[in-house]
Amino acid sequence: MVEVTDLAIIGGGPAGFTAAKEAMVYDVKITIIDNCPQLGGQYHKQIPAEFKYQQNENHKETQLFDPLRSSNLTILNDAVVWAINPQPEQDQFLLSISGETGIPHRLIAKRVIVSPGAHDRPFPFPGWDLPGVMTAGAAQILIKNQRILPGQRFLLAGTGPLQWSLAHLLISGGARVVSIVDANPFPWKALGKLPSFWGQWERLSEGARYWSSIITSGVPIHFNHSIYRAEGNGAVERAIIGPASGGTYKSIDVDTICLGYGFTPSSQLSIISGAEHDYSPVFGGYIPVRSESLETTIPGLFAVGDSTGTGGKDVAIAEGRLAVLGALSQLKINIHADTIAEIRKQLNRQRKFAQILQELFPYPAELLNKMPADTVICRCEQVTLGDLRAAMQYGFNDQDNLKTLTRIGMGRCQGRMCKATLDQMINPLTQEQSPGKEKLKSRPPAIPVTIESLLEEGVGHDS
């Protein structure tokens, strides 16, 4: 017997858990499928269940997740959805899931909301595959969730306010932040947009706290600068930085380098489901085409949050609410039009703010041109920039040919670490030669799964 649910929510981050909270009060069966041990996503990463807060402080996370207990809500943790099969004749979806004992391997859902989030956008340079170079996300998780400092002397390279927040966390944890390198200029332009910051008090006060600890600790921030190389014998010992426009390089002794160049959407699942996607140069990835109610081109399948373009937590929350109300009304539940109008208003305001941040701190795509041929682009198959440039010189400008020739994107991360860079390299070319949408080739499983979980699918699943 395959289990059936009314509403499946994939991903337990801000978009996903807010959607569940909104739906809980109605008479529907909801299932959240989350690949982490606890809800919260990357933004509200909780400490492990085995850890306890000392003193009985009332924590933000506890307040957020305690209300998520209801008889009509099932939370599947440590479970990965690796395929979504629309079954339009039955007006439902078949989800394939992989997980430990107790996790159903198949689930039928009448409506689906995908909110898998985003991951750190790759920024390749020679040595970015050395131990000691990690994403800003990895450092955040180690500090916030594991209470571990991944090094002692840090250089943060990237762009935007998340780097300031990481610097603050590292300093709070007792690490030495030697330098922050931001590829973009100091955000003077923000002054012209002050009215849009009205009401963003929580964020502004957070920002002030970060800056105060950066200034107090005397950490220099180099705007308009980039990292060009990481060096060391077996692991990072120093970083080579310089102006983003090129010129004089400087060597800084550090043992850890954290890269925070924004995010790229983790849209593999919505791609696999067959929904239409557009390439977004801003996010370096493919984002689902959506209606006003955030439904994809597959009826009944909604996509929200950072996997649809990085808008951050508040955009994700508003989108989660809006999509779930859309899904519920398709399930013949009466939703008040005022509620929807109010969420839309909120969403537009948050989107505007996210857009300003994106404009102030864009991904420095042009820096790839300054990187030498030995820069690894595909970490799994160790394909270099030189390999790709050579193949492209012979006229192999599309994903399929480059894959066949170089094996780019064919390793175990399934392109998550190189696809954004590859897309950036081939997209201007592809569009000139064959305007319109690039044919996407993403197939199940969305993430490597064990053979065991496939076998338990039963014979004939694919037929």
Partner 1 sequence: MLRITRKSHDLPLIERGPLVQVWINGSQVNAYLGETVAAVLIANGYRTFRLTDKKQKPRGIYCGMGICFDCTVEIDGVPDIRSCITKIRDGMVIKTGGTANG
Contacting residues toward partner 1, per CB under 8 A: 35, 37, 42, 47-55, 57, 59, 119-120, 129-135, 137-144, 146-152, 168-169, 172-174, 209, 234-235, 266, 379-382, 411-413, 416-417, 447-448
Spatial distance between the Cα atoms of 103 and 437, rounded to a whole number of angstroms: 37
Rounded least distance, CB 376 to partner 1, Å:
9
Q: Which is nearer to partner 1, 381 or 423 (CB)?
A: 381
Structure token digits, residue 440: 């996407």
Structure token digits, residue 383: 């394909």
Q: Which is nearer to partner 1, 45 or 321 (CB)?
A: 45
Q: Which is nearer to partner 1, 298 or 371 (CB)?
A: 371
Spatial distance between the Cα atoms of 10 and 18, rounded to a whole number of angstroms: 12
Rounded least distance, CB 335 to partner 1, Å:
34
Q: Which is nearer to partner 1, 56 or 463 (CB)?
A: 56
Rounded least distance, CB 78 to partner 1, Å:
9
User: How far is CA 25 from each of CA 22, 149, 219, 314, 348, rounded to the nearest angstrom?
Assistant: 7, 41, 48, 22, 25
**Residue whose structure tokens are 């857009």:** 355
Rounded least distance, CB 170 to partner 1, Å:
10
Rounded least distance, CB 44 to partner 1, Å:
13
Q: Residue 397, SS3? A: coil
Q: Which is nearer to partner 1, 111 or 168 (CB)?
A: 168
Q: Which is nearer to partner 1, 23 or 219 (CB)?
A: 219
Spatial distance between the Cα atoms of 410 and 381, rounded to a whole number of angstroms: 7
Q: Can the peptide bond before residue 445 be classed as cis, meaning omega within 30 degrees of 0?
A: yes
Rounded least distance, CB 225 to partner 1, Å:
22
Structure token digits, residue 428: 């201007």
Rounded least distance, CB 144 to partner 1, Å:
7
DSSP 340: H
Rounded least distance, CB 268 to partner 1, Å:
10
Spatial distance between the Cα atoms of 268 and 444, rounded to a whole number of angstroms: 9
Spatial distance between the Cα atoms of 89 and 252, rounded to a whole number of angstroms: 61
Q: Which is nearer to partner 1, 142 or 440 (CB)?
A: 142
Rounded least distance, CB 365 to partner 1, Å:
20
| Count, residues in the chain | 463
> Which one-letter amino acid corresponds to residue 330?
Q
Q: With contact defined as beta carbons under 8 Å apart, do 41 and 306 qualify?
A: no
Nearest to 287 by CA among 301, 264, 273, 267: 267
Q: Which is nearer to partner 1, 28 or 118 (CB)?
A: 118
**Residue whose structure tokens are 């590859």:** 422
Q: Which is nearer to partner 1, 126 or 300 (CB)?
A: 126
Beta strands in 232-284 (DSSP E): 238-243, 250-253, 256-260, 263-265, 277-280
